[in-house]
Amino acid sequence: MKRKRLLSSIGIVLLLSGVGYWGYTQFLAPVDETEGGTAVSNSTVQTELTAVTAEGQIVPLAQARLAFEGSGIVISVAVVPGDLVQRGDTLLLLDSAEQEIALQQAEAVVAQAEASLLMANAGVLLAETAVSAAEVGVARAEANFGLLVADPSEAQIALSEQLIAAAEADVALALGSQGVLLEGSSSAQIWAAEAALAAAEATYAAALRAYEPITQDETADPDAREQAQLQLNAATSNLAAAQAALAELQRGATGAEQLAATGGVQAAQNQQMAAEAELALLQSGVQAEQLGVAQAEIGVAQERLAEVTLQVQQAETAVTQAEAAVAEAIAGVDAAHLALEKRVLLAPFDGTVADVLPTVGETVTTGQLVAIVADFSQWQVETTDLVEADVLAIALGDGATVAVDAFAERPLTGQIVEIAQLAAEVRGDVTYKVTLALPNADELPLRWGMSAFITIERKQ
């Protein structure tokens, strides 16, 4: 019994001695020095490798989550998941009856605005013609007065005869302008208005044919009935606008315009008679009262010139307003075209349809996700939990080892191609998304969303 205790005590002493010696050699023993006195450790190297780890997900090279900019009923789904598409290919269509009617109405407004612009330009031409005639009238009146205050000569008589000829030309010009005004709108303008009316009537008839069966069907969908009512109301408004535009063109010149044209003819004829009277005065001698009449004629001619000059300004203002109306109408057509184009969802780039959510007949809302398109030509991996402390230890171009969970024994090589500038909070941590290219990703049958473990190595 005593022998066993002695052996146990000796074993414990030896064990404690061994532990003490190991501690001494590791922590208390002096360090060997080289000839130059520099300490050397076998575990020290000149370059130390550090590693940053993070979890991530496999993602395609590019992806787009698509939505319509307006709401409506899906009338066509042109693709299914897995289809290859090119940039600009049609993916889905929304109902566009309302937008098509709006486009027709906008085009009718453009036609009416352009017709109004043509009439405004014609008004400027008529007003400028009246100014020319008024200027001739002022010159004639002043010349007549000059002839009266001087003894008539053969040259004066010849000038008076020339004034009579000019007055006769003015009469012919005024009669021509009156004919243009009374002729009314051109056949081209009326044809355009009739074409717009025919289009409006066709649209109205189509809307009415679509509306009547729905109203008579008691089981019809309320949304469909409301849509049909809206389309019929829009078509009715469009038809009324087209009818009004055609009626305005067919109406021709107003009574006031016709009266003004007739007055212009009468004024030219009066000037002709005045010129003839002046010649007669030259040939028969001048009296004091004749000088007064000539002076008054100068005043009348100047007033007429001021009046028609104002009419030119008013006509030019009307042209400016008509041009603005045309520009506004064209902008309305452009907006209607854009609204119609937005009823079609197009592929944003060459790729593969990853998912299509709605079906034909389903109503979608503005901004609702309806399709996903991706470029699977290359794979990448994005980190999901790289914290702010670790992002300082990495840089663009750093290499990495990527172990996909589904293929843990077949790691891939990666390289950092993007480091997010904006942080995101994940489970209370401030993280930065880091994207890594996978040059040899085609070695594995990867899928979007697969989990991966990323080890980024960087020399310090």
CA-closest candidate to residue 456, choices 403, 407, 398: 398
Q: Which residues of the chain have pLDDT under 50?
A: 1-16, 19-22, 24, 26-49
What's the pLDDT score for residue 242? 80
Rounded (10°) angle between helices 97-149 and 187-216: 150
Q: pLDDT per residue over 310-337, tens digit each?
A: 988 988 999 999 999 999 999 999 999 9
H or E element that contains 3: helix 2-23
User: Which CATH number, 2.40.30.170, 3.30.450.40, 3.40.50.720, 2.60.120.40, labels domain 48-94+346-460?
Assistant: 2.40.30.170
Exposure on the CB side of residue 228, measured as CA atoms within 13 A: 19
What's the pLDDT score for residue 44? 38
> In angstroms, rounded to a whole number, what is the distance separating the alpha carbons of residues 176 and 248?
23
The 10 Å Cβ neighbour count of residue 158 is 10
Q: pLDDT per residue over 120-177, tens digit each?
A: 898 888 888 888 888 888 888 888 787 677 666 666 677 777 788 887 887 787 777 6
> In angstroms, rounded to a whole number, what is the distance separating the alpha carbons of residues 132 and 438?
82
The residues spanned by each domain of the chain are 48-94+346-460, 97-184+252-341
Distances (CA, A) of 88 to 83, 91, 346, 440: 14, 9, 5, 30
What's the pLDDT score for residue 257? 65
Residue 54 structure tokens: 């993070």
What's the pLDDT score for residue 47? 39
The total number of residues shown for the chain amounts to 460
Q: Are 345 and 371 in contact (CB under 8 A)?
A: yes
Q: Tokens 């184009």 correspond to what residue?
A: 341
